[in-house]
Chain A
Amino acid sequence: MASVAKSHRAAATPYRRTWHGSRDALVLLAFVLVPFALEMFWTFWPALNSLYISLTRWDGISPPEFIGLDNYLQMWSDSTFLLALRNTVLWLVLFGGLSVLGGFGLALLLDKPRRGVGVYRAIFFLPVVFSMVVTALVWRMIYQPDGVVNGLLSAVGLDDLTKIWLGDPDTALYALIVPALWRQMGYIMVLFLAGLKTVDPLLHEAARTDGAGTFQRFRHITLPQLRPITTIVLAVTVIDALRSFDIVWALTKGGPYHSSELLSTYQFSTGVLGSQLGYGSALAVVIFILAVGTIIVYVLRNLGEEETA
Chain B
Amino acid sequence: MSQRHESRRDVNRHVSRRGFLAGFGALGIASTLGACATSTSPRPAAGGASSTGLVLKSRESSDNARKGMQALLDEFAKRHPQYTTTLNTMEAAAFQQQIRADLTLSTPPDVLTWFAGEIASDFAQQGLLLDVTSVFPAQGYSEQFAKLSTDATGKKIFIPTVYYWWGVFYRKSFFDKWGVAEPKTWDEFIALCKTLQGKGVSPLALPLADAAWLTASWFDYLNLRINGADFHRALLAGQEAYTDARVTKVLDTWKEVLPYFDPDSKGLASTEGYAKWQQGKDAMFLCGPFLADAMPADVKDDISFFQFPIVDPAVPVAEEAPLDGFIASAHTANPEGAKAFLGFVATPEAQELYLKISGNALLPANSGAKSPISTPLLEKGRAMVAGAADVTQFFNRDTNDDQLNALTTALVRFIDEPDNGAEIQKQWQSDSAKARGN
B212 contact set on A, CB distance < 8 A: 253, 255-256
Given A41-B31, A166-B267, A256-B25 contact (CB < 8 Å): no
Is the pair A256, B38 in contact by a Cβ cutoff of 8 Å? Answer: no
Q: Is the CB of B405 within 8 A of A269?
A: yes
Q: Is B376 an interface residue (CB 8 A)?
A: no
> In the assembly, what is the distance between CA of A2 and CA of B38, in Å?
51
- B272 nearest CB neighbor, chain A only: A144
Interface residues of A, CB < 8 Å — how many? 52
Residues from chain A with a CB closer than 8 A to the CB of B265 are 167
Does B8 count as interface, using CB distance less than 8 angstroms?
A: no
Compute how far the CA of A90 lies from the CA of B264 in the bound complex, rounded to whole angstroms. 28
Complex interface: chain B residues within 8 A of A46 (CB): 37
Q: With A40-B28, A61-B126, A276-B402 given, is the CB distance from A165 to B38 under 8 Å? A: no
Q: Is the CB of B104 within 8 A of A61?
A: yes
Instruction: Select A61's contact among B97, B103, B209, B427, beta carbons within 8 Å.
Output: B103
Chain A residues within an 8 Å CB radius of B104: 61
**Residues 18 to 71 of chain B near chain A (Cβ within 8 Å):** 18, 21-22, 24-25, 28-29, 31-32, 35-38, 40
Segment 234-266 of A: residues with Cβ below 8 Å from B: 252-253, 255-258
Q: How far is A165 from B209 in the complex, measured between Cα atoms in Å?
A: 11
Q: Which residues of the partner chain A approach B22 to less than 8 Å between Cβ atoms?
A: 30
Other-chain residue from A37, A63, A79, A253 in contact with B40 (beta carbon distance below 8 A): A63
Contacts of A168 in B (CB 8 A): 266
Task: Please determine whether A164 and B267 come into contact, CB atoms closer than 8 angstroms.
Answer: yes
A33 cross-chain contacts in B, Cβ below 8 A? 25
A274 in the interface, Cβ–Cβ < 8 Å?
yes
Given contacts A62-B126, A145-B268, 17 further A-B contacts (CB under 8 A): A37-B29, A38-B28, A41-B28, A45-B32, A45-B35, A50-B37, A52-B38, A53-B37, A60-B101, A61-B103, A62-B40, A144-B267, A252-B209, A256-B266, A273-B401, A274-B402, A274-B405
The answer to whether the Cβ of A58 comes within 8 Å of any Cβ in the partner chain is yes
| B401 nearest CB across to chain A (Å) | 6
Answer whether residue B400 sits at the interface, using C-beta atoms and an 8 A cutoff.
yes
> A255: which of B128, B412, B434 is its contact (CB, 8 Å)?
B412
Return chain A residues, CB-CB under 8 Å to B29: 37
Interface centre among A31, A64, A166, A255 (most CB of B within 10 A): A255
B351 at the interface (CB under 8 A from A): no
Residue pairs across A and B with Cβ atoms less than 8 A apart, 13 shown, are A30-B21, A45-B32, A60-B100, A62-B126, A63-B38, A79-B427, A80-B431, A145-B267, A255-B212, A256-B208, A256-B413, A257-B413, A269-B405
Contact A256 B412 (CB under 8 A): yes
Any chain B CB within 8 A of the CB of A143? yes
Contacts A41-B28, A57-B437, A256-B416 given; does A167 touch B267 at CB 8 Å: yes
Interface residues, chain A, with chain B CB atoms under 8 Å away:
27, 30-31, 33-34, 37-38, 40-41, 45-46, 49-50, 52-53, 56-64, 74, 78-80, 140, 143-146, 164-169, 252-253, 255-258, 269-270, 272-276
CB distance from B212 to the nearest CB of A (A): 6
Which 10 A-B residue pairs are closest in the complex by CB-CB distance? A167-B266, A37-B28, A145-B264, A164-B267, A49-B37, A145-B267, A257-B413, A274-B402, A60-B100, A257-B409
Chain B: CB-nearest residue to A259: B413
Question: Complex Cα distance A269/B24, Å?
Answer: 36
Interface size class of B (residues with CB under 8 A): 35 or more
Nearest CB in chain A: distance from B362 CB, A: 26
Chain B positions within 8 Å of A169 at CB level: 413, 416
Known: A255-B212, A257-B413. A274 touches B435 (CB 8 A): yes
Q: Do the beta carbons of B38 and A64 come within 8 Å of each other? A: yes
Q: Are A255 and B408 in contact (CB under 8 A)?
A: yes
Identify A274's interface contact among B122, B128, B208, B401, CB under 8 A: B401
Contacts of B268 in A (CB 8 A): 144-145
Name the residue in B32, B269, B405 with the highest tally of chain A Cβ atoms < 10 Å from its Cβ: B405
The docked-state distance in angstroms from the alpha carbon of A275 to that of B435 is 8
- Cβ–Cβ contact A49 & B413, under 8 A: no
CA–CA, A140 and B268, complex, Å: 9
By a CB distance below 8 angstroms, the chain A residues around B218 are none
B37 proximity list for chain A (CB < 8 A): 46, 49-50, 52-53
**B122 and chain A: residue at smallest CB distance:** A61
Nearest-CB distance from A151 to chain B (Å)?
13
Which of these, B209, B266, B435, contacts A276 with CB under 8 Å? B435
**CB nearest to B24 among chain A residues:** A34
Contact between chains at A167 and B434 (CB < 8 Å): no
